[in-house]
Homo-oligomer: A and B are copies of this chain.
């Protein structure tokens, strides 16, 4: 029952953090002070690039949220309402979606026509405020975002007490849950030598059908587009705990680069979680603009960059995490070529070209970017 124990311990720890917040506020009230929360600012102005750790990090700046302040009283109340609901979840050992939490905490305030929350766009930022204020990830508050993504590979895991052999998952694979913390998912036997994250589900299917993961001993993951928090946390845990490298295969366009960069060093809006989610050593397998020539792809697969792509790419040139010369060259190559390509473009050569040639050649020749 080690798992249950750990899970309960984790919950107790988070409950204590919430109770500490409440106790401090009560102390302010008893001292007849204006009850005030100090909430770290989650905005570009308080985000910085840590060159050494290669992570996007949240700074130290905080904002005050006061009870006796007409503009802040409602948010003050909402913060404690969300905190109370999370404590209830933690005590009952249940987890829920952020949509559900909105419904759990929404009600009309007695003797008024005012709602605690009018819609979810009000409760979501409060959750993020609580995360940074008590220093607990959303998952530690027993909340989760959408679930998406599948995984197979030569590896056995334990998920909520069930032992699952990921080498025997058929054509569908194991559905990656929203919460992949170590109190839910544990890694057992693993024969994989690396992790391969592919952006596109259809490419994952191709690689799974061709049993790529078996031949090349890798864990095959797709995020069905941008990797969810659950997928990112799982990638980081596998990378750290199993000590194997992570390769990422995305479309050759600014969105693909963005997906890669979030996996690698985190995002601006969730900078406070980079430490728990990012894999700074992630290796970029492509597609790259120069792959068009290297692999002799036909003109048919080129898609002209749109204005929006160009703007996005130019913006990326200014990000400190893309400041290294090889990234500047990569992005400028794309802009200069004026086209983008999807991973599926490789099927124009042969349906299993991605499996038989592209990925093995890239890895063998160490042809990746970090």
Contacts and interface: CB of A to CB of B under 8 A. Distances in A.
A116 to B, nearest CB: 8
A170 B144 contact: no
Contacts of A172: 147, 159, 174-177
B94 A344 contact: no
Query: Which of A96, A172, A184, A344 neighbours the largest number of chain B CB atoms within 10 Å of its CB?
Result: A172
A34 interface: no
Query: Which of A88, A159, A163 neighbours the largest number of chain B CB atoms within 10 Å of its CB?
Result: A159
Contacts of A160: 170-171
B173 A162 contact: no
Nearest to A102: B344
Contacts of A300: 103, 106-108, 115
A202 B171 contact: no
For the residues of A in contact with B, the DSSP-based class is mixed
Interface string A21-40: 00000000000000000000
Contacts of A107: 298, 300, 348
A160 B211 CA distance: 11
A92 interface: yes
A345 B103 contact: yes
A299 B168 contact: no
A301 interface: yes
A351 B94 contact: yes
A317 to B, nearest CB: 29
A300 to B, nearest CB: 5
Given A147-B205, A344-B97, A344-B100, A351 B169 contact: no
A358 to B, nearest CB: 14
Interface in A176-194: 176-179, 184-185
A201 interface: yes
Query: Which of A96, A106, A351 neighbours the largest number of chain B CB atoms within 10 Å of its CB?
Result: A351
Interface residues of A, number: 61
User: Within the oligomer, what is the number of copies of this chain?
Assistant: 2
Given A164-B170, A177-B170, A347-B96, A299 B104 contact: no
Interface in A70-117: 88-89, 92, 94-97, 99-100, 102-104, 106-108, 115
Given A95-B209, A202-B96, A209-B94, A104 B171 contact: no
A150 interface: yes
Contacts of A206: 96, 100
15 contacts: A96-B347, A97-B202, A99-B202, A100-B202, A100-B347, A102-B344, A103-B300, A103-B345, A107-B300, A107-B348, A108-B300, A150-B175, A161-B170, A172-B177, A173-B175
Interface of A: 88-89, 92, 94-97, 99-100, 102-104, 106-108, 115, 144, 146-148, 150, 157-164, 168-179, 184-185, 201-202, 205-206, 209-210, 224, 298-301, 342, 344-345, 347-348, 351-352
